[in-house]
Amino acid sequence: MRNNECFDVTIIGGGSAGLFAAYYAGMRGMKTKIIEYHHDLGGTVSVFYPDKYIYDIGGIPKISGRDLISQIKEQAFRFDPTLILGQAVEGLKKMEDGLFKLTASSGETHYSKTVIIAAGPGLFKIRRPKLKNIEHYEDKGVHYEPKDLTGFAGKCTAVFGDVQSSCRMAVQLSKTARHVYLICSRSGSKGLEKEMEELLKANVEVKCPCTVTGLYGDKQHLSTVTVESTDKRKIENLNVDDFIISQGYHFDLDPVKNWGFSLNGRRIPVNEKMETKIEGVYAAGDIAGYPNKWRLIASAFNEAITAVNSAKARIDPSAPAQVYSSILMDN
């Protein structure tokens, strides 16, 4: 006997496509589970576009990424899907009885009648610099891509990473921090030149071109960042309270490949029903690939609906092919 509960559909990915798929699966009366690699929902919209406006949602002239995800989350959880956070799906296997066994990075197993892959561009992982003992100071003074800068008020902070994003972060920090260092590995960058005037006005101390060569402190907290000029003529020790790294992310699609899919342009090929080559497994959002695809959030919503309807038809052939309207749902 299998102790694990079996779901009608398991959605891999908790971004905009995955959340909308969960909502629509709830409308179709399906027992739904969402498995998300990160410790929060929202996917690429939450990470990369939280404060940018989105204009391609029907009936909404414009909405910030943060507000969009907030509303989709509210919509998705109307039907109480089961949520698993902080787990990467490492194994996806179709068993002899037709059910799917999903094995997570934690070792936990999940069982489902159908699967919808809504993994966006893949698992996005923070780029970490190769610095000795950096892991000792993570969450003890070393921070990666922080979204909330209020905790750095009154502190001496160094920022290192991608020129444009680190420049913007340094300027924002300078409004409340005691002192801000901006460490850039390249000089003459257009991004830096465009924002240099604003940086000077913001009283940010620029170390450029320099690279970070060492991190030092006690077992409790980071206290010093060592920087060296790229010509190796000058070494400085910067006394800091916090060190922020903003080098962006890289996208990992190896788990998808390990599930048995051959990718076409970093996407899983699907047909008009959002079906993959594995019967019972569907894809929606950025990860789904088909001719003349439009990379719009509005398109991802439609793909999610199609994937859910296909999954519903597989587990219950007698059910209506689709729900034509949700107007009559209770408020």
CA atoms of 134 and 226, how far apart (whole Å): 13
Residue 283 burial (CB < 10 Å; 0-12/13-18/19+)? buried
| Residue linked to tokens 């003459």 | 188
**Longest Cα separation, the chain:** 76
What does DSSP say about strands 53-54 and 89-94: parallel, antiparallel, or unpaired? unpaired
Cα distances (Å, whole numbers) of residue 132 to 128, 137, 180, 213, 226? 11, 10, 23, 9, 12
Residue 49, marked binder: yes
DSSP state string for 53-83:
EE--STT-S-EEHHHHHHHHHHHHGGG--EE
Q: Between the CA atoms of 78, 79, 85 and 88, what dihedral angle is there, to the nearest 10 degrees? A: -130
Residue 282, marked binder: no
Cα–Cα nearest to 157, from 247, 245, 230, 47: 245
| Residue linked to tokens 């309207």 | 325
Cis amide leading into 209 (omega within 30): yes
67 near 134, Cβ under 8 Å? no
Residue 227, marked binder: no
Cα–Cα nearest to 141, from 157, 161, 117: 157
* Token pair recorded at residue 168: 């913007």
Bridge partners of 160? 183, 245
Residue 89, marked binder: yes
Task: Show the 3-state SS of 202-256.
Answer: CCCEEECCEEEEEEEECCCCEEEEEEEECCCCCEEEEECCEEEEECCEEEECHHH
Which amino acids are annotated as binding site, given as ranges? 36, 49, 89, 124, 286
Which amino acids are annotated as binding site for FAD, given as ranges? 36, 49, 89, 124, 286
